[in-house]
Structures are given as structure tokens and as C-alpha cells.
Amino acid sequence: MLTPMWKTGLWRNSPNCRILSPSRSSNSDRIPERMLTGRWKKTLTPRGCITLHPEAAGRKRAIEAAFIELTERWGYSEVVTPIFEFIDVISPAVGEDLLERGYKITDRQSGRVMIIRPDVTPQIGRLAATTLRNKRPLRLSYSLNIFRYDNSSGGRQQELFQSGAELIGISEPEGDAEVLALLIEILEQLKINGFIITLNNRNFLNGLFEEHSRPDMKDTLREIFLQKDLPELKTLLKIGMISKKEYQVYSHTMFLYGGEEILTKGLELSDSPVVHESIENIRAILGFMKELGYSEKIRIDLSEARGFDYHTGVFFDVISSENGEIIGSGGRYDAMIRQFGSDTPATGFSLNLNQIMSLSSLERCTLPRVLISDISGDKRYAFTVSQKLRKAGLSAIREVVKREFQQTLEFARSEGIDYILRIEGTKRTKDFLLHVLCEKEDSEVVSLIKRSINRKKPLKILRHESVNGANRKK
């Protein structure tokens, strides 16, 4: 577990802690009514881009920090890739669908067409094949935003936060097991309450299709398996596009989901060496996961047909038990880096951080916050106190607005401030009042505040009723 610097200030559930996008934004994201003309209603930001308010931004940062720290413990080094790529360079490693959904612009210097980053993994592949080509195995991680038009949401989600890890240069099943184990540890660290990982190998269905059906039926069958469309499979049987034997094999495959016993049932459907090799590959990975103690999170789904054009072997999805959504995915992509001139095996995963933020119960650890309210007129002294508190590891905010203390108190409560240090008197003679707004003061924090004022006069402590029973959890 990550050890927080402070045990105070755990993440508070708040209606403001959400991702705000223009399509669901507050009034502050929109042009004021007086600026609108006629019936036109306009937003200040493009549809589908994300605005994070302070608490949501802090939540995102906490999740990213936990992600990067844990990947570093596993030996994965963080990289930051460009937001623009020349489309002729990156396109061989990006699928046609992703290229179509990407946003293109023209480079003013060269006139070449660029694409705004639609995915990070192809960029990792370019790095692995060029500037990092002599480092194997290569372990890299990232946490970046990507941009792609989502047809399914009508353009409501065009910007996504993506965090991932890539293991490059290892072809053995143990490499896939390492990536899966890392993924599970991350999800547990981020406190995702309930998830499963479905596992398959693209060569299982490919082998079945090649063994039992005509080559021109492969795309049709793949689409049926993507949709889990058993009625359409029956239609193909009725019109003579597939035989009764094919129908029996494929309809049975539709329900091959479960534990390790599913692998034995998959072997019974085919004599194809391709199918048998794919099953043994999954079995080997599952064996490593058992040794690591993570097999209970894995489910075998031999009917899954996603990622055929991208993955070259095993692939997987992370499914939330809370909402049934896919919150992450990954697998082996040995052919991608070859597009950049390096025949290198690779495997990895990525997480949809937008969804992780809504599902994670990770407690955000923030610094205790102190508001310095000085009415003595000694601004230099108040600034010095603030600096001492900051160097001691606290968040110190100076009250520079002249107002009644009740207004200061209301402001502090609205901002989640834990303490108000009120400096009264004159430049020569000062009195110090510490107003405690949190449910219970931290003795270490109070001690730091006492040392920062550096005066012999005692620090008078006043306790206020906290908002909703607790201004900040302890």
C-alpha cells in the first residue's frame, strides 16, 4: 500500500467530484445568457472535451500518481509521447477505424498531415523501434490524454484519459502473465470494487473458422461472434451458408465462458493445431497466474472476437462488476512494432481513466490546509509564517482580502480549510488564535503552527462545529 504523507484529509465524497464535459457542464462552462443572441446556445469549449474542476482534477492526479508509482515498483519507466504525430509515420501501426476517428491537422512548417494522438500504444511501438531499439526487455508506462471521435456517443466523448503499461521484447507466456498481474495489482491499489478479466487468444476462433468454414465466411462469422448473435447464426444455417456441423460447433462456442474447464471443452471442438496451440498458450498463462495467486480474477471467454486486426495472440478485457462496462483492455501485439522496422514481440494493457475515476474508491490524501488571517498590519511577518508552514509540508493560504471574520470563516469552510491562524494586535504586540474547523485537530499540525509563529505568547485554540459533522475526515 502507498503510505500517505498525512493521514488527515482523506478523499471526501462530493457532488463536485465528477468529470465535467461541455455536454453535461455546469453553467460556469457556458456563455452567460446576456452574451447569447436569439435562440443560439453555445458552449465555450468543443463538444466532448473535458473540464475537471479542482476536486476532480485532484482525484485524477491521485489516481495517476498511484498508477505511476506502482508501475515504477515493477520496473516500468514513465514516458510522455507527442500529442501530434505525422500520419504517414504512425498510420501503419494504427487501424483504419482509429485513423478514421482521429483528428487531423496540417503542419504549418512542412505541410505534412498530422493526427492528434488517438492512442498511445502505437507511439510506444515507434519509440521501441527507434530511439529505444537497443533496450530489451523494455518496460514502459504512461498516463496521457487521447483524442478520437466516438460515433457511438454522438461525439459526446472525444477526449479520454488513458493510462497503460507495455512490456516489449518478451514473447513467452510469462510476459503476458506479468502484465496481467501488474494490471490486477493496479486495479486493487486503485480500489476498484469488483472486476473480472476475460481472457482469450485470437487464434482460437481463427483456427475454428479456417478448419470448418470457407475463407469468404470469416468476416461474417467474426461479426456474429462480436455481437453474440445466435439468431443470425441460425439464419446462415437456414439459407445454407453454413452446414449443420458448423452451426453446432459455433453455437457451442458461443457459450464457452468460465474457468479453466472451458479450455478442455474448447479442445474437443477442433483438431486444428492452431486451435490447440492457442488453448495451450492460455493454459500456460493461467498456470503462471495461479502461481502468483491471481487466477481467481480471470475468466476464460473463447467466444470473444474483439481485437482480431490488432492482437496477435492472447488478449483480454477488464469488466467492472459495478456497471458491466469494459474499463480496460490489453494483449499481445507482436506485429505492430514490425511496422516500424523492428521484429519485436510486445504485450501490454491500457485503462480508461475516465471510467476508473468514477469507480475508484481510492482515498485522496491532501495536505492539511491553514488559512493565515492577519489583522495586525505586519504583512511581512504573516508571509514569513506562511513560508515556514509550507516548508514544514502544510498548505498555507494567506487571507489578503479585508472582510469580517464570519465571512472568512464561511470562505474557509467552503474551501475545505482545516485551520485558520488569526494574527491580531500590532506589529510589536501580537495575539494568536487558532480556529480549528476539522473534526479533530492533528497534534503534529498544531505543533508545526506553534513553531512557525515563534513567539512566547500561548496559542489560543478555538474549536468550531465542522460542516456536516466533519470538515475533513481523519
Nearest to 253 by CA among 301, 198, 193: 301
Please give the Cα distance from 368 to 214 (Å, whole number). Answer: 67
Are 305 and 378 members of one domain? no
Which of the listed residues 315, 340, 359 is the one where a domain comes to its end? 359
Q: Quick one: how far is CA 47 from the chain centroid?
A: 21
In this prediction, residue 271 carries a pLDDT of: 95
Are 429 and 284 members of one domain? no
Cα-Cα-Cα-Cα dihedral sign, residues 293, 295, 296, 297: positive
Q: Is residue 474 part of a domain?
A: no
Q: Are 83 and 45 in contact (CB under 8 A)?
A: no
Q: Are 441 and 417 in contact (CB under 8 A)?
A: no
In this prediction, residue 152 carries a pLDDT of: 61
Are 288 and 428 members of one domain? no
Three-state SS at 170: coil
Are 313 and 432 members of one domain? no
Q: Is residue 393 part of a domain?
A: yes
CB neighbourhood size of 169 (10 A): 16
Are 174 and 215 members of one domain? yes
Beta-carbon contacts of residue 57 (< 8 Å; ≥ 6 apart): none
Q: Is residue 13 part of a domain?
A: no
Q: Is residue 96 part of a domain?
A: yes
Are 98 and 152 members of one domain? yes
Name the grid cell of 92: 501503419
Which of the listed residues 303, 328, 359 is the one where a domain comes to its end? 359
> Domain containing 233 — which CATH number?
3.30.930.10
Q: Is residue 21 part of a domain?
A: no
Which of the listed residues 307, 337, 359 is the one where a domain comes to its end? 359
Number of domains the chain contains: 2
What does 41-102 look like in DSSP terms, one character per residue?
A: --BSS-TT--B--HHHHHHHHHHHHHHHHHHHHTTPEE----SEEEHHHHGGGS-HHHHHHS
Are 312 and 166 members of one domain? yes
In this prediction, residue 425 carries a pLDDT of: 86
In this prediction, residue 7 carries a pLDDT of: 32
Q: Which domain holds residue 398?
A: 369-469
pTM of the model: 0.84
Which amino acid, 93? A
Q: Which residues pair with 421 in a beta bridge?
A: 372, 434
Are 341 and 219 members of one domain? yes
Q: Is residue 20 part of a domain?
A: no
Are 101 and 239 members of one domain? yes
Q: Is residue 2 part of a domain?
A: no
Are 244 and 382 members of one domain? no
Are 402 and 299 members of one domain? no
Q: What is the pLDDT along the chain (474 residues), one digit of tens a residue?
A: 333 333 333 333 333 333 333 333 333 344 444 444 454 456 677 877 888 998 899 999 999 999 999 999 999 999 999 999 999 999 999 888 889 999 999 999 999 999 999 999 999 999 999 999 999 999 999 999 999 987 665 556 689 999 999 999 999 999 999 999 999 999 999 999 899 999 999 999 999 999 999 999 999 999 999 999 999 999 999 999 999 999 999 999 999 999 999 999 999 999 999 999 999 999 999 999 999 999 999 999 999 998 777 899 999 999 999 999 999 999 999 999 999 999 999 999 999 999 999 999 998 778 999 999 998 888 899 999 999 999 999 999 999 888 999 999 999 999 999 999 999 988 888 889 999 999 878 999 999 999 998 767 778 899 887 544 444 433
Are 384 and 351 members of one domain? no
Q: Is residue 406 part of a domain?
A: yes
